[in-house]
Structure 1
Amino acid sequence: MSKDRWSSLPQAPVPQSTPLARAPNALLRQIFEAEDPALFVKQLSAQVLFHTIRFNGIASCAEVIELLSPEQFQSILDFDLWTKDVFEEERIWDWLELPDVADDISFLQKFLQSVDLKLIAILINRHVEVFSSEEATEAPPDHGFYSPDKGQSWVRVSGLDSHCDFLLKRLLALLFESHAELYYQLLQIPCVRTESDLEEQGFQEKSQRLASEGIPDLEWASELHSPINEQLIMERLRSPNLISPIEDIAPVPVFMHTHSLPEPLRTFFQKFAHIGELEAEVTLLVNSAVVHFNVPIYETSGLQFLIEQIRGAMNIGLEKIQELSPQSSHETILQTLGIRGVYRLGLASIFHLRILARKISEEDLHHDPRLLAIHQGLVEKFPYLPLFLEPDGTLKEEGEKLEPGNRPIQHLSDIAVIELLFHPFLNMR
């Protein structure tokens, strides 16, 4: 690529950062300082509590976990133990360690009251061998078996490291001591139901529970991510009809207040920061993006980058509206489009880049690793840019290497940069 193409690119606005407090830290302090912490926690949504616990760490939040209702705890586990329709076994051990952190075995009892027992049955299916007979036996059937009931049944835990082996044995012991009938039922479930059947039913029930927490199903998430064209935007801006309000969504403030905000979105958010409905709408969009783009909600870095991408689309939507209808006030935009309409307009521009990039073969770019790296981000389901590509189109280098990492597409000028860079390759085909 010639130097001229890199040096003749449009300029982008300089992003600004909003010096707002990190909500999970602030919320944890509020809980501890509240006059009645139990009542304070009871009034919080499970999703807000989940992000607070995961941000600060389970060990630091033992006192908060102790105050959770069974329903709140169940929803938190639903958020934490699943990636889409897959039970993430490695994440359950953090919760089984809680009695050691808090020095209180009652935490394990609280966990059993809230966890989906089908997940415990899956653990048993994967790691517990069961031997039982009509009459009690004194000798174990093989090395490693032990009996909690004087030889009536024998179990052996396998396939785990020593720490997880201990955690699972302790869980089984508590089950036997406090819920013997349930203990035997769980041991027998793998004999009559397959792991895939248990996981599928668990996923369906988990999805139903999380719907009440504001997590859209796949169909609604897809609808919220369908791009909207400029003509429809203009019709809505001129229409006296107001957009339907978001209902039954508990806002998650961290989605709106944590990271850097580009302009004009920064001004827009600051103007309407007092409106809870805007927070609820942003929460809905983040939750729908988690579903649509299949981003595990417990992965902090992945979720943070997704939020930045969402904000980028919102910002591009606002920039586009300023071009199309400069006379439209922020109040009109919020009332007729909502931030979700703005977002979908921004997605139209971003997804246009994906369509453009997919028309270009990587073979056409092999001569320039920089273009190839940009192309690889653009063909993703939610396109992004490499960090080494500055908003003004110049390259950021560290020594002789390009800066690693990625950044969201945040401005119309980002789109103009990409169109200018890749337009010559469209004419090659």
Structure 2
Amino acid sequence: MNLNVEVISDEIVKPFSPTAGGLRHRLSFLDQLTPSHYNHLVYFYPKTCDTEADKITISDRLKHSVSNALTYFYPLAGRITEDQLFVDCNDEGIPFVEVRVKCQLSDVLNNLVPRELNKLLPFEVHSVNKVLAGIQLNVFDCGGIAIGVCVSHKIGDALSFFSFVKTWAAIARGETALTAPDFESASLFPPQDVSGFKQRIKLSNKEQIITKRFVFGAAEVEVIRRKYSENSNQTRPSRVEALSAFIWEHLITAKGAKSRLGTLFTITHLVNIRTKIDPPLPESSFGNIYSLALTILSSSDGNVVTGIRDSIKAVNSEYVKKLRDGYNHFDKLNELEARYGKDAIVPFAVTSLCRFPRYEADFGWGKPVWAGSGDLGIKNVATFMDTVNGDGIEAWITLDKEEMEKFGSDEGMLAHVNALKSF
């Protein structure tokens, strides 16, 4: 459905306590390699604002608590420098936008259109912006609300995003036992000279790509895992490994790519490396503390799951040592393109947010009934998220429009998609 939104107010929220004057947050080498788009999520809460007084109370609570949260996450209230090497922690603050949405919250949840969800966010996902975070409070006609949150990927990964939201929500609930984030990633991954480095992510024509959400219930995921367990005759694959292989196989069918001679396929998984550093880092470590697991396949490769598992296992402590010494995790992809040519490579990237604290955003009126993404605008990408009950997986997939029509009507794929609502 087409969302009709009206901006009611737009203000800047600053940290409750001032940050030390002249403080700068240094970006790490991994931050330098990360694109500048916004990590984002929209949290939905039903029957929250029954009166105008409720709207004011909730708005004030969110602004006051995020102001306190920015005291802990002070770089988010700063501005990134032109050279993108530092954040000036100058307390300029973050936008807090309040919007009225001219429909019922249930209308959105029952007729999900990922691109329309972007209207519930404070920024364009790929806008070039020195501002590192933003909040949008969306109030529906029914009194339900949606809180859209954006945090720049340039300064932090998905776990950093959830760490910020979790702390903000805890403050809103009145909790005082909080875990302060650690901003020392640049000491582990010192910045490098990346003057010749070009970001790999390129936006596609919005009209030519589409994002759709496919829900795989617990039973369907189990069937897929069993299928790949039988094929590999090895260790039982994880949910993410099996579903990645399953979607990849149907994706290249939709592309008609498997029949092309000389075609090379790559599957990239983003891997959290906090636990692979010696000593391991806590989840509260803020920054882009992840790397890439690259699986390279030819059209004749039959055991996709084994390739995925091996590439993820290869992102180990020894690999992390290479990263700390300045190894660029995009080098292998660049080498493949130089050797085979871009047109001969069909890429597919997977980000898994499964097991992340997506539903811990309780600001004092309960956990969200659902939390979802928007349209990322980058094709050949899948984002996995747990369903509300935690058993199944939502796969948010972005493809070329024509390819999505084929992929979305693939009977072999749809046979494993749960037709039931996940909220």
Same fold (TM over 0.5): no
Q: Which has the larger radius of gyration?
A: 1
Which has the larger helix fraction? Answer: 1
State the structure with bigger RCO (CA 8 A, min sep 6), 1 or 2.
Answer: 2
Which has the larger strand fraction? Answer: 2
TM-score (norm 2): 0.21
